[in-house]
A and B are shown apart, each in its own frame.
Chain A
Amino acid sequence: KQEVTQIPAALSVPEGENLVLNCSFTDSAIYNLQWFRQDPGKGLTSLLLIQSSQREQTSGRLNASLDKSSGRSTLYIAASQPGDSATYLCAVKRVTGGGNKLTFGTGTQLKVEL
């Protein structure tokens, strides 16, 4: 059974700091990995999708890397802003045996302070 862990569970940083969020998964037979953000009381917003054949994806100040063999992904946020405050979730899709569902981590709650 695929298990996804995110560390840390919560993080508070001053504005402008660069930061890294971590995601690990137990079964490396994944199809892809997706990072989301969730604002309080809202749905999930897709940030980046990395296919299993890719090593990283970038969008603006965000960079996500994937090391499938070690079962790890990181989300790097450059020059953090208060508007980045949210819960960040990673999710993996297995190749087989898991249908087409994503398995989610429990998230990292990020607070960027002025």
Chain B
Amino acid sequence: GAGVSQSPSNKVTEKGKDVELRCDPISGHTALYWYRQSLGQGLEFLIYFQGNSAPDKSGLPSDRFSAERTGGSVSTLTIQRTQQEDSAVYLCASSLQGAGGELFFGEGSRLTVL
């Protein structure tokens, strides 16, 4: 596609429910990143994919968070048993190559946990 596409753009859920956030990177981009931006906070790294593998999962805040990428393209970030502190904007980015490439971000998925 022309840019990084994320869905849903907005998600409101109740505490304890599971949510899935989707990222469709720019076609041909092998590297994919998930970041989280909380109100008044900076961007927090969550996970990095190179192809279908995730060599760096160090930013996932708890075992309630998981992510997968299939076919070297679309990625899904899943949050189980959501908590109010999970409320944030979840941003996805992709780049043409892993190390030196320029990152391009999607518009984000705004998650609100009531």
Contacts and interface: CB of A to CB of B under 8 A. Distances in A.
Interface in A84-114: 89, 91, 93, 99-107
A53 to B, nearest CB: 10
B77 interface: no
Chain A interface mostly helix, strand, loop or mixed?
A: strand
Contacts, number: 59
Interface string A63-86: 000000000000000000000000
A100 B42 contact: no
B104 A46 contact: yes
Listed residue (B45, B50, B56, B58) with the most chain A CB atoms within 10 angstroms of its CB: B45
Contacts of B33: 100-102
Nearest to B93: A44
Given A91-B43, A101-B33, 16 more contacts: A31-B100, A32-B100, A34-B102, A34-B103, A43-B105, A46-B105, A93-B99, A100-B31, A100-B99, A101-B45, A101-B56, A102-B45, A103-B45, A104-B35, A104-B42, A104-B43
Pick the 8 closest A-B CB pairs, nearest first: A99-B56, A44-B105, A104-B43, A43-B105, A43-B107, A101-B45, A106-B42, A49-B102
Interface of B: 4, 6, 31, 33, 35, 41-43, 45, 48, 50, 55-56, 58-59, 91, 93, 98-100, 102-108
17 contacts: A31-B99, A31-B100, A34-B102, A36-B105, A42-B108, A43-B106, A46-B103, A99-B58, A100-B33, A100-B48, A101-B45, A101-B48, A101-B59, A104-B42, A106-B41, A106-B42, A107-B42
